[in-house]
Amino acid sequence: MRLRLAAILIALAAPSIAQPLLSLPSREDGRNWEAVGRLEIAGEAFCTGALIDERTVLTAAHCLFDPRTGLRVPASEIQFRAGWRNGRASAYRRVRRAEPHPGYVYDAPSDTARIRNDIALITLQHPIRNTTLVPFETDVQPEAGSSVGVVSYAHDRSEAPSLQETCSILSRQDGVLVLDCSVDFGASGSPVFRFGPDGQPRIVSVVSAMAASGDTPVSLGTDLQQPLAVLRATLADSVSPGAGLERMTAGTRRATGAKFLKP
C-alpha cells in the first residue's frame, strides 16, 4: 500500500506555523547540537546522524546502501563527523559496524513498511567522550499535532547544520510520521526532536524521505520507539558484527539522501 498523502492531509487539523531553517555556523550557535553530525559515505555522499550514546549513532537505514547496486556500503567506508561546520568537526570517528533495521528492505516499494523500518544504528570504533558532545536521549512516540524540531545537513547547506526549531507532526499512519518539517537531499537520518518538561531535546523520529501532497511539501519519518527497540534487540543477539557487508565496485558514485515519494 502506497502512502496516500493527499487523503491524509484533508483530514488534518490546522498545524502550528513551521519556523524557517536557522543556520548554525558557529560553535556558539550550535552549542546544544554538537552530537548531530554528518555521516560521510564512501567519500562521495553524506547523510545526517545523531549520537545516542558515546559509541552509537542513529540514522536512516537507506544511507547504508549503494543506490546503484543495492548493496551495503562497508562500515570501513563510513565516517561520523560530529558537529561538522566549516571544514571542522568536534570529533571524527571511524565506524566499526553499521546495521539497518532487520525488517528494512532497500529495494522494496516506497510504502509505509519500508519507511517505518528506515532506521540504522552505527557503532563507532572508539567512543566519543567530550563534555561538549552530550548524546541525545530518545523518547516515546509523539501524537499528531505535536510540535517537534529537526537538525539537519543538506546538499545546499552541507558545511553547517541547520535547525528548524518548530514544525509539526501532521499525521501518523502505520508507523510513519507525516511532518511539515523542511528537509532536502542529505537530510536523511536527521533527528526529529521533541522538548521534554526539563527543556532537553529528545529524539522521537528519524527523517526518511521527502514527499508531496499536491503542491504541499511534507517529510516522512519513522515512529521511532518500536523499530528502535527491535533493532537494539537484534544487535544484542547478534554474534557476527559486520556480517553481510558487501564492498562497492571501485569508481562507482553514490547519491544518498532523502528520497522523493510521489503519492
pLDDT tens per residue, range 152-210: 999 888 999 999 999 999 999 889 999 999 888 889 999 999 987 888 999 999 999 98
DSSP reduced 3-state for 66: coil
Whether residue 84 lies inside any domain: the answer is: yes
Read off the pLDDT of each residue in 15-30 and give the average, rounded to a whole number: 75
CA-wise closest residue to 177 among 151, 154, 136, 211? 211
| CB neighbours of residue 248 within 10 Å | 19
198 lies in a domain?
Answer: yes
Residue 19 has pLDDT above 50, yes or no: yes
Residue 247 lies in a domain: no
Structural domain containing residue 17 = 5-241
Please say if the pLDDT value at position 17 is more than 70: no
Q: Which three cell numbers stand for residue 174?
A: 502505520
Tell me whether residue 29 is in a domain. yes
Burial 66-77 (b: 16+ CB within 10 A, else e): bbeeebbbbbeb
Sign of CA dihedral 125, 127, 130, 136: positive
Asked if 177 and 205 touch (Cβ cutoff 8 Å), the reply is yes
User: Range with the lowest mean pLDDT among 49-58, 74-83, 130-139?
Assistant: 130-139
- 7 close to 216: Cβ distance less than 8 angstroms: no
Q: What pLDDT, on a 0 to 100 scale, did the predictor assign at position 99?
A: 97
- In angstroms, rounded to a whole number, what is the distance separating the alpha carbons of residues 40 and 97? 14
> Please, which pLDDT band fits residue 125 given cuts at 50, 70 and 90?
very high
Say yes or no to pLDDT of 4 above 50.
Answer: no
pLDDT at site 239:
53
Q: Is 256 a domain residue?
A: no
Q: Which contacts (CB < 8 Å, 24+ apart) does range 228-237 have?
A: 228/58, 228/119, 228/138, 230/101, 230/102, 230/103, 231/99, 231/100, 231/101, 231/102, 231/119, 231/120, 231/121, 232/121, 234/99, 234/101, 234/102, 235/99, 235/121
Q: How confident is the model at residue 259 (pLDDT cuts 50, 70, 90)?
A: very low
| CATH code where residue 166 lies | 2.40.10.10
Write the pLDDT tens digit of every residue in 205-218.
Answer: 999 998 887 788 89
Q: Is residue 196 part of a domain?
A: yes
pLDDT of residue 258: 45
Asked whether residue 259 is assigned to any structural domain, the reply reads no
129-153 burial by CB neighbour count: b if 16+ within 10 A, else e? Answer: eeeebebbebbebbebeebbbbbbb
pLDDT value of residue 61: 97
Residue 100 within any structural domain of the chain: yes
Structurally, how many domains does the chain consist of? 1
Q: What is the pLDDT of residues 218-244, one digit of tens each?
A: 999 999 999 999 999 988 887 544 433
- Of 60 and 13, the one with more pLDDT: 60
